[in-house]
Chains A and B, each alone.
Chain A
């Protein structure tokens, strides 16, 4: 019994090491002083962070990614929330169809979605423009908002809305004063998911970026393929910190939400 338990603990420890190791290594390498990828680094320094923050070549894609992600957040949160609220009011058959449609970008392989979008958008001259990227990323981000808000709505007591309506509130007044405040954690978590989805997205960007709208993941991709330099480790570390903080916030928000669909790690 205890032997089996010890064995399990050791095995799990090793697997967790396997999970954490790559991330830790990237973070360590980003502080390396060497000009090529080597581990362990010969010495430590901020050299590659300086290289990143002084290079217009890196900062421009960063700003574009942040800007695109911000627009995606606004669009996807708006559309995803409306969809989640509106879908409950549809007849059942239509509701199943509509939610399958909205969630489908999660199931369709990214490459299929990417070339589909590329093909469709190329006709309207949207390839290589931030607008094209924003529209494409919004399609991919809406399901996350939709799922998050739907989970919040499922935990909402319908009597609260009925009470507001029977006390003479208009439907829109009820929505803004009762429903929206109650589902706010779900909406905010969805917005954070949407941001991270757009900010980290690469496959669509590979096709849609062209030369005119290079996002940060796209810029990293080019660098990974053509030169091996620790700058990308520094960029990776920065994006890891950013996304982990945002996703952590989303996780906490969903924990606070009235219910969640058994969100990961809920005891």
Chain B
């Protein structure tokens, strides 16, 4: 019974990693390949920016989701509605916002802050903003989970012993929420690495990510190269997961919903 569903998944996996003839020459040539190195560093850099951006925006939201029970349902709905909308639709929404006649340009023009529409679309900035938007829930939900598990009596004890609210936050809440932060950063970073649709739609032609390069190579029927790149992408993803998963508490924090 198990082999029945394992087979399609397994064969898919094997083929995706194993479809060139296995010689290491493809990998050896990668190290001297300037296009590949530039794309790889660009992908990692974009993922890092997106992860940090999502962390900065996600933490306060997670905090208020847990701390303000009356507002929590509203906040939750505002997080989940975009979360449930497809990546394509949300990327498209950002195209509408950032286009030449989009909301951002029209608002800036109306406010006389610029006299000519800005070029936001097809820049790295556009990709990063949209990716932060799309991946933000993956940051908020694990952090909120971790915050919820903190025993509230700890914070009471801390302020009872004379700590200021700021000190309580820095010394009690923040350290205890770290497993959630690590889990959120892991999810966002790993998902950002494999992003295809958003950078392809919003990014500039010079701003190529690893997944775009893979798709391009497949279109040119350059299978050996595409498969090598896929293996690199998959290996990077798995290595990062393996590294962070070992941190204490992260595995537990990740066991929240998968979607």
The residues of A with any CB-CB pair to B shorter than 8 Å are: 1, 4, 8-9, 11-12, 15-16, 18-23, 25-26, 29, 36-40, 79-80, 82-83, 86-87, 90, 98, 101-113, 115-120, 135, 138-139, 142-144, 147, 193, 196, 200, 202-203, 206-207, 217, 220-221, 224-225, 228, 232-233, 236, 239-240, 243-244, 247-248, 251, 254, 260-265, 267
* Least CB separation from A105: chain B residue: B9
A25 touching B103 by the CB < 8 A rule?
yes
* A-B CB pair tally, cutoff 8 Å: 241
Given A39-B106, A193-B259, A267-B69, also A109-B197 (CB < 8 A): no
* Least CB separation from B169: chain A residue: A4
Task: Tell me the dominant secondary structure on chain A's binding face.
Answer: helix
Residue from B4, B64, B197 within 8 A of A202 (CB atoms) = B197
Instruction: Annotate B26-61 by CB proximity to A: 1 below 8 A, 0 otherwise.
Output: 000000000000000000000000000000010011
Interface size on B, residues (CB 8 A): 81
Q: Could you show 22 A-B contacts with beta carbons less than 8 Å apart?
A: A12-B61, A18-B133, A20-B82, A22-B93, A23-B81, A23-B93, A25-B96, A37-B99, A39-B106, A108-B234, A109-B196, A109-B211, A110-B196, A120-B15, A139-B9, A196-B84, A202-B197, A220-B92, A221-B88, A224-B201, A228-B95, A265-B141
Residue from B8, B101, B165 within 8 A of A4 (CB atoms) = B165
Residue from A103, A116, A248 within 8 A of B230 (CB atoms) = A116
Q: A38-B101, A98-B2, A206-B215 are in contact. List 18 more A-B contacts (CB 8 A).
A: A4-B166, A18-B133, A25-B93, A26-B92, A29-B96, A39-B106, A83-B1, A98-B6, A101-B10, A104-B9, A113-B12, A116-B12, A116-B13, A116-B230, A139-B9, A193-B259, A217-B86, A225-B201
Shortest Cβ gap from A204 to chain B (Å): 10
